[in-house]
Amino acid sequence: MIVSANAGGAWSPIGDVTTTMLWIANKVTTLKLITYLFIPSLVCMVVPIFIASFLKPFKGEITYDSDQNEEKTHKYGATMLYLGLSGIIFVPVFKTVTHLPPYVGMMFSLAIIATFAEIFTQAKISMSTVSEDSEEMSHHSPVHKSLSKIEMPSILFFLGILLAVAALESLGMLFEFAKTLDKVFPNTDVVVILLGIGSAIIDNVPLVAASIGMFTQEIDHPLWHFIAFSAGTGGSMLIIGSAAGVVAMGMEKIDFFWYLKKITLLAFSGFICGAITFIILRGLLE
């Protein structure tokens, strides 16, 4: 699931944080991104699944705990889910049509979703209070409740990373580092593959932020698409290398060393096969 989640997000501008960063920085466009990365991402996902299907640890039936009580859901839950997904998908379309920054489209989608959330809960909101004479599940504004769940430490973490990278770029250190890499590794494909492997150990956000400052290629250059693929899928090689892995480790109590022994080689094989597929596809498209 971790490998599939990361591979599935690499080819979409809204599917992965690093791909979104490149998209916001005007390094890639939606159509070109899908054209270059859909097939390599599919290969990156299918190869590990195919190999795992022949291995003993991955054979067997999945058991479900039927004793768990089903949580009570809101009658408009499915409607809000589809509305939220539609709002997210709307963002690339909004940017393509209006040429406005993506955050404008996301804020617009958020406003629409928040409006319908207030309507569906039938909460009577004033400037200072929330009426409680509504349904059992509508005692408080859903927007206020959602705002209380924002992970401010994570936001500040990413802000600190981006500020640090911007400082290095303003000092010219990233350009000097890029020149050094060019001398040591004349082939940029090797650099990008190493970036993907490094994203399994180091968070991929600072690596992509640094690459945006290091390389000066034009928009939709194949290098940016290769960076999006490598940074998005390379984190699957370690369970701590991606947000999906960290969440799965916390929810399912997956051991780090179990993942290292059972999954790392599978994820690495998928990553390399996907990278080779991208290089072949790039030659056909250019």
Please give the residue that has the higher pLDDT: either 142 or 241.
241
The SS3 assignment for 149 reads: coil
Instruction: Give the per-residue pLDDT at 132.
Output: 46
Yes or no: say if 196 and 275 are a contact pair by the CB < 8 Å rule.
yes
Helices 102-121 & 17-24, crossing angle to 10 degrees?
A: 120
The SS3 assignment for 3 reads: helix
CA distance 259 to 175: 36
Please give the residue that has the higher pLDDT: either 209 or 37.
37
- Listed residue (147, 140, 111, 110) closest to 123, CA to CA: 140
pLDDT tens digits for range 63-100: 655 555 555 666 777 888 889 889 888 988 888 888 88
CA distance 223 to 245: 26
Instruction: Give the per-residue pLDDT at 166.
Output: 80
% of the chain beyond a pLDDT of 90: 16
The SS3 assignment for 261 reads: helix
pLDDT tens digits for range 164-183: 878 887 887 777 877 787 78
Rounded mean pLDDT, 218-227: 91
Average pLDDT, the chain: 81
In this structure, what are the phi and psi dihedrals at residue 64, rounded to the nearest 5 degrees?
-120, 145
Q: Where are the domains of the chain?
A: 2-58+151-285
Yes or no: say if 232 and 44 are a contact pair by the CB < 8 Å rule.
no
Query: What's the pLDDT band for 286 if we cut at 50, 70, 90?
Result: confident
Whether 217 has a pLDDT exceeding 50, the answer reads: yes
pLDDT tens digits for range 101-151: 888 988 999 899 888 888 877 655 444 444 444 444 445 666 777 777 777
Please give the residue that has the higher pLDDT: either 241 or 151.
241
Instruction: Give the per-residue pLDDT at 144.
Output: 73
Instruction: Give the per-residue pLDDT at 275.
Output: 93
